[in-house]
């Protein structure tokens, strides 16, 4: 199981900017008690590791018959699948089939380029939407639906839906057109859904056994309710991040994995943390980062800029490849000293040195330690961060599963695009556009 090192947020290590261990212990217990109240049905994501995966595997086998696999979805319906692909099958499209494209943002040119590359006759399109009503996803679905039909292809051979078990537009179309459809359990919401068929089908499609993802996640689920701080790093992390905000006013969480394969995990975590906690004036701002690259870009700010951040490292013990740096140029010290070491040694030493430099400057930082990157540890880290975020929400006293703040923008889009029932919003948009603007 992955581990958490929280030494560098303790007062013993960084003085008064840190936290007392007794406070962390107390808060950890409180986090677990709050979770144990099971106030929200959406906590069902904790049970996802126990689901049956036969149907996912069955459809996964079908996906492998296609040359292209196109995923349409956004937010929680796209970021998780992307992490699975980039962490477990890097450079996938250059090496394997089916070639996978994940289209989330509604950038018109991106879609144009994807449809120029894929041959629709050899493409399976996975439309992922829990609600079945997200404009971005439905717009791209409509475009692809029309293209498939224009080419006289059978829709039930080229589409598979991943959606709510009972409700929504996609569920309705699935039964009307006999489109194969996977279920996102009723109580599981978008950003906590990666371990449902949302992420599992993509895993199977790229040749990753989804059972291993679930096996790893299960180890975390089993510990989520433990009151023993030594067994519950999720509760400890939630408490540290919460208290460093409340008591020390550190309002920015820099998420800093040391592996290219975890770059998109930063984006996934940022959505999870921001959308779950940013409510009622509460929450902290997640900041996606990557080591060692950002040591040459952001570290200066973290070391000497405003005292408003906490750094959350994610280190990887074994990177799975031991490229030794050759011993050359013995008379040039700047090159000589690298010889005989490996790239793994270098990246891990850089992580350690950065953590230590922050510690020497008394900057709070924490570290999640992954032994290696594989399906099991990726399952663990997903569940680890999901449980941590849900607990943090409960400590803040906000509902970590809703997103009321995004509704207004959606309604105004509906109004502007002429959706029935949103005429008032449509008028508001028109009035907004009539206002005097200061544009130079």
Which residues are annotated as catalytic? 275, 296, 410
Q: Rounded to an integer, what distance in angstroms lies between the CA atom of residue 315 and that of residue 163? A: 34
Distances (CA, A) of 206 to 203, 229, 320, 418: 5, 37, 19, 39
- Rounded Cα distance, 316 and 352, in Å: 11
**d(Cα 22, Cα 24) in Å, to the nearest integer?**
5
Please, which residue, 134 or 365, has the CB nearer to ligand PA5?
134
Minimum Å gap between C-beta 263 and ligand PA5 is 20
Q: How far is the CB of 387 from ligand PA5 (least distance, A)?
A: 16
Report, in Å, the least distance between residue 125 CB and ligand PA5: 15
> Concatenated DSSP letters for 266-292?
HHHHHHHHHHHH--TT---EEEE--TT
DSSP state at residue 265: H
Name the packing angle between helices 197-205 and 79-88 (round to 10°): 30
- Specify the residue, 75 or 197, whose C-beta has the smaller distance to ligand PA5: 75
Q: For residue 246, how far is the Cα from the chain centroid?
A: 25
173 vs 189, which CB is nearer to ligand PA5?
Answer: 189
Residue nearest to ligand PA5 (CB): 190
**Nearest distance from C-beta of residue 137 to ligand PA5, angstroms:** 5
Question: Which residue, 400 or 415, is less far from ligand PA5 as judged by CB?
Answer: 400
CA distance linking residue 63 with residue 387, whole number of Å = 31
Name which of 129 and 380 has its Cβ closer to ligand PA5: 129
- In angstroms, give the least distance from the CB of 24 to ligand PA5: 29
Query: Bridge partners of 255?
Result: 288, 312
Measured between alpha carbons, how far is 315 from 230 in angstroms, rounded to an integer? 20
Binding footprint of ligand PA5 on the chain (CB under 6 A): 74-77, 129-131, 134, 137, 189-191, 275, 403
Cα–Cα distance, 187 to 201 (Å, whole number): 19
Q: Give the count of beta carbons closer than 10 Å to the beta carbon of residue 437.
A: 7
């Amino acid at each position: 199981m992955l581990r958490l090192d929280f030494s560098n947020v303790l007062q013993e290590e960084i003085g008064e900017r840190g936290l007392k261990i007794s406070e962390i212990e107390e808060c950890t217990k409180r986090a677990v008690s709050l979770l144990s109240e099971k106030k929200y049905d959406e906590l069902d994501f904790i049970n996802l590791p126990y689901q049956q995966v036969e149907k996912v595997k069955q459809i996964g086998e079908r996906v492998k018959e296609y040359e292209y696999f196109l995923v349409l979805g956004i937010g929680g319906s796209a970021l998780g699948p992307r992490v699975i692909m980039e962490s477990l099958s890097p450079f996938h499209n250059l090496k394997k089939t089916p070639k996978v494209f994940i289209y989330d943002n509604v950038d018109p040119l991106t879609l144009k380029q994807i449809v120029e590359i894929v041959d629709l006759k050899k493409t399976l399109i996975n439309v992922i939407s829990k609600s079945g009503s997200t404009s971005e996803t439905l717009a791209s679905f409509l475009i692809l639906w029309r293209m498939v039909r224009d080419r006289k292809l059978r829709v039930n051979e080229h589409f598979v839906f991943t959606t709510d078990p009972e409700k929504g537009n996609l569920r309705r179309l699935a039964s009307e057109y006999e489109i194969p459809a996977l279920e996102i359990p009723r109580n599981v919401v978008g950003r906590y859904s990666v371990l449902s068929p949302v992420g599992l089908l993509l895993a199977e499609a790229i040749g990753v056994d989804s059972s291993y993802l679930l096996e790893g996640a299960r180890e975390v689920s089993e510990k989520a309710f433990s009151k023993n701080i030594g067994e519950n790093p999720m509760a400890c992390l939630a408490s540290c991040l919460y208290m460093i905000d409340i008591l020390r006013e550190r309002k920015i969480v820099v998420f800093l994995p040391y592996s290219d394969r975890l770059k998109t995990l930063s984006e996934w975590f940022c959505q999870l943390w921001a959308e779950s906690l940013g409510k009622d004036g509460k929450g902290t701002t997640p900041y996606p980062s990557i080591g060692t690259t950002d040591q040459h870009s952001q570290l200066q700010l973290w070391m000497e800029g405003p005292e408003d951040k906490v750094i959350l490292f994610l280190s990887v013990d074994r990177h799975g490849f031991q490229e030794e740096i050759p011993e050359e140029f013995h008379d040039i010290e700047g090159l000589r000293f690298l010889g005989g070491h490996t790239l793994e040694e270098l990246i891990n030493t850089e992580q350690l040195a950065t953590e230590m430099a922050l510690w020497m400057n008394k900057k709070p930082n924490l570290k999640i330690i992954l032994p290696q990157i594989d399906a099991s540890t990726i399952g663990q880290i997903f569940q680890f961060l999901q449980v941590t975020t849900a607990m943090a929400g409960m400590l803040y006293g906000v509902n970590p599963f809703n997103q009321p703040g995004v509704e207004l923008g959606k309604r105004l889009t509906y109004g502007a695009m002429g959706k029935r029932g949103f005429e008032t919003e449509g008028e508001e948009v028109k009035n907004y556009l009539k206002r005097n603007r200061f544009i130079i």
